Amino acid sequence: MSVLQRIAEARLPTPFAEFRVQVFGSADGKEHVVMALGDLETGDAPLVRIHSECLTGDALFSLRCDCGFQLEAALAAIAKAGCGAVLYLKQEGRGIGLGNKIRAYALQDQGSDTVEANHQLGFPADAREYDLAVQLLKELGLARIRLMTNNPRKHDALVRDGIEIVERVPLQSGRNPHNEAYLRAKADKLGHWLTLP
C-alpha cells in the first residue's frame, strides 16, 4: 500500500503551458506537487524533473543557487516537448530545512562552501531521499523517463528502485558570480555533472 495520498488536482496555467497540478500527501505530513503536461502514459519516456523545494531560489529569486533557474528551464523544456512532469518535493535545503539552510548561508558568508557549511551544522552534504520520487513516478504510471538532472545520486537512486532512465538530459542554467563557489562545490565535492570553466 502506497504511503502517498492524492489530495487535490486542478489545472494550472503558467507562462510556459497549462499544466495539471496535483498535490500528494506523504506519511510525514508533507505535501508534494506534481506538475504534469500531456498524456504521460501513452508517450515514450517523457521528460521528468525531480526538483527539491528551494524557497529562496524558486520564489525569492536568490542568485546563491541555480534552483529557480533549473525549475524554469525544466518547465520550459516540458512545454516545448508537449509532455512531461515536474515532481516538486518538500526537501528544502538539500533536506535540512529552511532555517538550517539560512544558517548554512551565514557560514558560507564567512568562507565555507555549501558542503562544509552543512557539515559544520551537523548534517550530511545532502540529506535528500528519492523514495517518494519513485513512488510518485509509479503513481503517474511512469517506468521509463528522460530525466533532467545533473545529480548522479538522484539518477542512481531512481535506477536502483526500478525506474528506467532512457536519457539523462543536462540542466545547466543560471550561472552567475554569486553561485560560482556553490556550483564548484557541487561539481567537485558532490560529483554533479556540470561543465564549469
Q: How many CB atoms lie within 10 A of CB 18?
A: 11
Active-site residue, selected from the candidate residues 58, 66, 113, 126 = 126
Instruction: Check the annotation: does 31 bind a ligand.
Output: no
128 carries an active-site annotation: yes
CA distance 113 to 153: 19
CA distance 58 to 152: 22
Instruction: Check the annotation: does 149 bind a ligand.
Output: yes
Instruction: Check the annotation: does 50 bind a ligand.
Output: yes
Instruction: Check the annotation: does 83 bind a ligand.
Output: no
> Strand 31-37's sheet: what is its strand order?
5-13, 18-25, 31-37, 84-89, 47-52, 144-148, 164-169
CA distance 28 to 165: 28
Cα 73–Cα 78–Cα 182 angle in degrees, nearest 5: 25
Instruction: Check the annotation: does 38 bind a ligand.
Output: no
Active-site residue, selected from the candidate residues 113, 128, 131, 160 = 128
- Is residue 190 a contact partner of residue 153, using CB atoms and an 8 Å limit? yes
Instruction: Check the annotation: does 49 bind a ligand.
Output: yes
Instruction: Check the annotation: does 114 bind a ligand.
Output: yes
Question: To which residue does cell 558532490 refer?
Answer: 190
Instruction: Check the annotation: does 51 bind a ligand.
Output: yes
Instruction: Check the annotation: does 67 bind a ligand.
Output: yes
168 carries an active-site annotation: no
Residues annotated as catalytic (active site), given as ranges: 126, 128
Q: Which residues are annotated as a binding site for Zn(2+)?
A: 54, 65, 67
Residues of each annotated binding site for GTP: 49-53, 70, 92-94, 114, 149, 154
Provide the annotated binding site: 49-54, 65, 67, 70, 92-94, 114, 149, 154
